[in-house]
């Protein structure tokens, strides 16, 4: 295996047009997603044809179409991709079970009695997501658990949906950035031969200012911009009254506990599903037949379980097609050329830091995978840093902070696509879906991180931190 995580090929895959030809499939995808995002496309299914178009361009330009097709399949068949697809499907089921129980109505009732609404609810959602992601180290797992629980109450509690999903996404990013058990924290520290504890402590200088600003803005501006009539319309759709559905907080909590104990995501979600179905039926929140039944008139199966799995289809197909596209780009050997060019440019401390930042930025944009980007550029940072007096903590922070910006801001990365997809959980409660573009733009934590990092590199402050 090489630094990018794929088996080494004898020679890079050649394209008509050279590097430009290798990049064109990705550019077609980016342009299409940008166009759909600006047009307000709310459903990730709309990105499927764009990805197919990118794959078709790649096949057209590849000099060896068979090798390109194999690279696509190799990109799609990675274990991490299969894990994500299964996680999306299972998360959809867990979210549907909790939603069907009347949990949202009970949550609204409790929040209203406590005076939590509008901006205060958005701030609370940010803090909950930040605490969960910091504890578990997983941003995607945090989104899977938090969005179906917190987002549907936006209308009834007077929270602006865009700010609310942005706050949850921001909280998920926060833990991914600073948690000692986050995969990006571990990758950035180990590639720079730094202790994880020291890396986390030094990273707080970047994370806390960005988090504080995000929290203040969410509290001040998170209230719904719609009128009272719009809020009431959302509230009318919620099955309020009994607080009994609050017991459905137990299954997601059980999943969280298992994640904290380092249990694999798939069994953690499966236990959550089984316990949610069992508890919901036992508490008479829904009937066994609601879980799965046959619609004899339409000759199809229906039920909460199927509806939940259907929620995960859009993001699952998107993930498969995107990883296939990335596999074709990686097969062209662009990552090795990128790192080599950045290494040649690193002649002074300032230039070295800009080179590391630029290389990991390009790597994450090319691969759409944060850890792969860190591993690809980690050797460059480790080689040039010591000779130019750039501390190992500083290098680790440049790598990690950078990959906690773009994937959580831009509408063609899995975290933003997933966040937008999960807002479909609010449909039954009168809360509109939010696009991936809108979710990313409202992630104030990642925007703050980017500003803090650029300022640190430009001024040189903290360059020798910890050493």
Q: Residues 312-362: pLDDT tens digits?
A: 888 889 889 988 988 888 888 887 787 888 878 878 888 989 999 999 998
Neighbours of 182 (CB within 10 A): 25
* pLDDT greater than 70 at residue 7: no
* Number of domains comprising the chain: 1
The C-alpha atoms of residue 296 and residue 346 are separated, in whole angstroms, by: 68
Residue 324 resides in a domain:
no
The C-alpha atoms of residue 334 and residue 9 are separated, in whole angstroms, by: 13
The C-alpha atoms of residue 101 and residue 242 are separated, in whole angstroms, by: 11
- Tokens 């030094």 belong to 202
The C-alpha atoms of residue 78 and residue 447 are separated, in whole angstroms, by: 30
Q: 84 pLDDT band (50/70/90 cuts)?
A: confident
Residue 139 resides in a domain:
yes
The C-alpha atoms of residue 261 and residue 271 are separated, in whole angstroms, by: 14
Q: Which domain holds residue 170?
A: 80-312
Residue 137 resides in a domain:
yes
> Could you tell me the pTM of the whole model?
0.83
Q: What would the two tokens of residue 16 be?
A: 């008509």
Residue 299 resides in a domain:
yes
Residue 431 resides in a domain:
no
* pLDDT greater than 50 at residue 239: no
Bigger pLDDT: 212 or 237? Answer: 212
The model's pLDDT over 10-25, given as tens digits with 9 standing for 90+, comes to 588 999 999 899 989 9
Q: What does R_g of the chain's alpha carbons equal in angstroms?
A: 23
Closest CA to 372 of 80, 51, 68: 80
pLDDT, residue 164, reads 96
pLDDT, residue 465, reads 65
Class of residue 166 by CB neighbours under 10 A (exposed 0-12, middle 13-18, buried 19+): buried
The C-alpha atoms of residue 347 and residue 160 are separated, in whole angstroms, by: 48
Q: What would the two tokens of residue 125 be?
A: 């959602």
What is the CA 255 to chain-centroid distance, rounded?
18
The model's pLDDT over 48-65, given as tens digits with 9 standing for 90+, comes to 999 999 999 999 999 999
* pLDDT greater than 90 at residue 448: yes
CB 166 within 8 A of CB 214: no
Bigger pLDDT: 348 or 233? Answer: 348
* pLDDT greater than 70 at residue 466: no
Q: What would the two tokens of residue 158 be?
A: 């007077």
Neighbours of 317 (CB within 10 A): 17
Residue 123 resides in a domain:
yes
Residue 450 resides in a domain:
no
Residue 92 resides in a domain:
yes
* DSSP-assigned states of every residue in 229-269: HHHHHHHHTS--S-SGGGGGGHHHHHHHHHHHTT--HHHHH
């Amino acid at each position: 295996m090489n630094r990018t995580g794929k088996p080494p090929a004898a020679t890079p895959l050649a394209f008509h047009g050279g590097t430009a030809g290798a990049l064109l499939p990705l550019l077609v995808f980016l342009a299409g997603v940008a166009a759909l995002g600006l047009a307000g496309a709310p459903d990730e299914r709309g990105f499927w044809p764009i990805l197919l178009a990118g794959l078709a361009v790649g096949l057209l330009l590849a000099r060896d179409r068979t090798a390109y097709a194999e690279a696509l399949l190799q990109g799609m068949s990675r274990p991490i991709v299969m894990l994500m697809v299964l996680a999306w499907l299972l998360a959809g089921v867990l979210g549907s079970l909790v939603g069907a129980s009347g949990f949202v109505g009970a949550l609204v009732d409790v929040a209203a009695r406590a005076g939590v609404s509008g901006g205060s609810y958005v701030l609370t959602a940010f803090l909950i997501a930040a605490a969960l992601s910091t504890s578990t180290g997983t941003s995607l797992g945090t989104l899977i658990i938090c969005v179906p629980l917190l987002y549907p109450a936006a209308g009834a509690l007077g929270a602006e949906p865009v700010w609310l999903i942005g706050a949850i996404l921001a909280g998920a990013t926060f833990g991914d950035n600073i948690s000692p058990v986050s995969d990006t924290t571990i990758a950035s520290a180990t590639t720079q031969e730094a202790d994880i504890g020291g890396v986390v402590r030094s990273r707080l200088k970047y994370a806390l200012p960005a988090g504080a600003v995000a929290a203040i803005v969410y509290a001040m501006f998170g209230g719904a911009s719609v009128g009272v009539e719009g809020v009431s319309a959302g509230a009318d759709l919620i099955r309020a009254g009994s607080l009994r559905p609050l017991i459905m907080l137990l299954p997601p909590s059980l999943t969280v506990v298992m994640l904290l104990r380092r249990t694999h995501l798939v069994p953690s979600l499966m236990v959550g599903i089984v316990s949610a179905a069992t508890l919901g039926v036992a508490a008479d929140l829904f009937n066994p037949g609601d879980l799965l039944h046959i619609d004899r008139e339409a000759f199809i199966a229906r039920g909460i379980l199927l509806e939940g799995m259907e929620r995960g289809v859009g993001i699952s197909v998107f993930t498969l097609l995107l990883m296939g596209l990335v596999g074709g780009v990686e097969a062209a050997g662009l990552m090795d050329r990128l790192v080599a060019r950045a290494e040649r440019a690193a002649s002074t401390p300032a230039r070295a830091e800009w080179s590391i930042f630029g290389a990991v930025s390009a790597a994450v944009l090319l691969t759409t995978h944060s850890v792969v980007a860190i591993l690809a550029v980690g050797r460059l940072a480790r080689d040039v840093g010591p000779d130019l007096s750039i501390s190992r903590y500083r290098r680790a922070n440049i790598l990690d902070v950078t990959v906690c910006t773009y994937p959580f801001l831009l509408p063609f990365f899995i975290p933003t696509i997933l966040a937008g997809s999960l807002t479909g959980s609010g449909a039954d409660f009168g809360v509109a879906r939010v696009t991936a573009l809108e979710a990313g733009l409202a992630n104030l934590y990642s925007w703050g991180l980017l500003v803090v990092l650029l300022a640190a590199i430009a001024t040189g402050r903290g360059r020798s931190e910890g050493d």
